[in-house]
Structure 1
């Protein structure tokens, strides 16, 4: 039994006239009659009584009609499900983000718009450091990830740049530099730094060292953590100062103030990484929602 047999049967059962049913289906009357006979032969019982001016359902035909309509409805649901999956409207999208990108507007906006535009798709998020996110992408454990890229893109990944943001300074409230509107990098000589290392091939510590080197000194590393929130908490505890992406200023922590830097201010890039050649409709739709890079001064 083919789907067209079911469709032809339902049309004839609703019209009870071969001519009208054939016109509705866009076929000739003889092919319709032949398809109905083939269906009846397969079932083993007549489905219609042929009358001079139409057709009448038999007992077998009436029993078959309800099930036939369900078959056609299920076929339409199956087609719609395939269309939605093919168009990236359903399924699970696994997205990672590095903790330093947690407060970046590109990240929060992408998540928000995706949830609004594709309500039937589930979004599974994971926070980790950039190197670990890249590893999970390559092992197909994630579909996309917001990372802080370094100088080299790992083989097998594509990176979509999302711009750069300058680092700002996080200080304990009572720090001697907290009263300044802008803090020169040179003023940080001898200050203990709380740092966190993330990125693919290039860490924040490397950026801090470059900035300090241009001012003629080497930064003093006091504490190190893999998480940016923990870093800010350590600053609040008075364990040192920290440089962090400017978007971290959205994180209000008691005992911490943020100040822009003067001098050789490092800028840290953000990118979204995907597997090279990934053709997933969900991934394609998600990437289409990523806002253009914001140029930070």
Structure 2
């Protein structure tokens, strides 16, 4: 069954006259008659009652007309949908995010911009810990990650910095450094670092990325509450972005660093992406306005 035969049948059903229908379809009357004969042969029953006064629909033709209209509407909708998807105007995107993206306000700002610019896009969110982000991207479990970069594999990942977040040192109020108003990096060289990480090796990378030191002793915890509980118990100190400070730990104080240490919050994606939807969303996410007052203004994309 050809699509043009369905369209011709619907026009003929509206006109109930071969001449007028043929004129609307921009074909000769004999060609329309041939199409209808072929259509009836394909369907396997008579759809039209022909007589000298014109044409009427058979009972089967009346039922077929309703189904044909639905089929044509569905095809038209399918074509429009496919076109909009090819233009990157609708579809689904999977965004992974870290706690920093939430507390900084960047995730909220990104979602607001996506909703305003592309309301037909469905956004699926996944919370991802820093040590999981590369694996989730490379196994196609997410399309983008909003997070700090711990291991930037330039061969497989593309990184766009969105904002720089200040870093502070968390310590017990009874720590010997707690009386200082500003902490110098030299003060921290002999300290034990307690960091949000999945392993000691990842905890070392966290400290190196945040303040540039290679710590001698680290304690890795995958729960931020556990990190601050150990800091409170004077088991060590923690370096962290200011947006992750938890106010409900009265025995923990946060001190700025004399050296202006920051952690770049970035949009991370695979390098091999050519999906028009993902490319449009990337443009939106890169220009996301940072809402939280702790963040600096977005920096230029490299």
TM over 0.5: yes
Matches within 5 A, 1:65-76: 65-76=65-76
Please give the TM-score of this superposition, normalised by the length of structure 2.
Answer: 0.75
With over 3 angstroms needed to count, the CA separation of the structure-2 counterparts of 1:259 and 1:209, relative to structure 1, is closer
Q: Which moved more, 1:78-87 or 1:66-75?
A: 78-87
Q: Is the 8 A contact 2:150 2:206 kept in 1?
A: no
Correspondence 1:283 to 2:278: yes
Query: Take 1:75 and 1:169, find their aligned partners in 2: how far apart are those partners?
Result: 61
Deviation at 1:206, TM superposition (A): 1.5
Which secondary structure state, in structure 2, belongs to the residue aligned with residue 135 of structure 1?
helix
Q: Which residue of 2 aligns with 1:231?
A: 227
Q: Which residue of 2 aligns with 1:141?
A: 141
With over 3 angstroms needed to count, the CA separation of the structure-2 counterparts of 1:228 and 1:39, relative to structure 1, is same
Q: Is the 8 A contact 1:97 1:146 kept in 2?
A: yes
Deviation at 1:100, TM superposition (A): 4.3
Deviations 1:202-245 (A, max 9, x none): 8222246636xxxxxx8674633245454344334544432212
Q: Which residue of 2 aligns with 1:270?
A: 265
Which secondary structure state, in structure 2, belongs to the residue aligned with residue 204 of structure 1?
helix
Query: Take 1:144 and 1:42, find their aligned partners in 2: how far apart are those partners?
Result: 49
Correspondence 1:253 to 2:248: yes
Correspondence 1:210 to 2:209: no
Deviation at 1:159, TM superposition (A): 1.9
Query: Take 1:201 and 1:252, find their aligned partners in 2: how far apart are those partners?
Result: 23
Q: Is the 8 A contact 1:148 1:200 kept in 2?
A: no
Deviation at 1:190, TM superposition (A): 5.7
Deviations 1:141-191 (A, max 9, x none): 222223433575242222222243231233445667667665454555765
With over 3 angstroms needed to count, the CA separation of the structure-2 counterparts of 1:60 and 1:101, relative to structure 1, is closer
Deviation at 1:4, TM superposition (A): 1.5
Q: Is the 8 A contact 1:145 1:273 kept in 2?
A: yes
With over 3 angstroms needed to count, the CA separation of the structure-2 counterparts of 1:95 and 1:177, relative to structure 1, is same
With over 3 angstroms needed to count, the CA separation of the structure-2 counterparts of 1:12 and 1:207, relative to structure 1, is closer
With over 3 angstroms needed to count, the CA separation of the structure-2 counterparts of 1:232 and 1:15, relative to structure 1, is farther
Query: Take 2:229 and 2:84, find their aligned partners in 1: how far apart are those partners?
Result: 45
With over 3 angstroms needed to count, the CA separation of the structure-2 counterparts of 1:96 and 1:109, relative to structure 1, is same
Deviation at 1:125, TM superposition (A): 0.8
With over 3 angstroms needed to count, the CA separation of the structure-2 counterparts of 1:134 and 1:191, relative to structure 1, is closer
With over 3 angstroms needed to count, the CA separation of the structure-2 counterparts of 1:89 and 1:114, relative to structure 1, is same
Query: Take 1:118 and 1:150, find their aligned partners in 2: how far apart are those partners?
Result: 32
Q: Is the 8 A contact 2:171 2:253 kept in 1?
A: yes
With over 3 angstroms needed to count, the CA separation of the structure-2 counterparts of 1:65 and 1:119, relative to structure 1, is closer
Query: Take 2:122 and 2:260, find their aligned partners in 1: how far apart are those partners?
Result: 41
Q: Which residue of 1 aligns with 2:160?
A: 160
Q: Is the 8 A contact 1:149 1:201 kept in 2?
A: no
Please give the TM-score of this superposition, normalised by the length of structure 1.
Answer: 0.76
Deviation at 1:97, TM superposition (A): 2.8
Q: Which residue of 2 aligns with 1:18?
A: 18
Query: Take 1:195 and 1:8, find their aligned partners in 2: how far apart are those partners?
Result: 71
- CA RMSD after TM alignment: 3.6
With over 3 angstroms needed to count, the CA separation of the structure-2 counterparts of 1:222 and 1:129, relative to structure 1, is closer
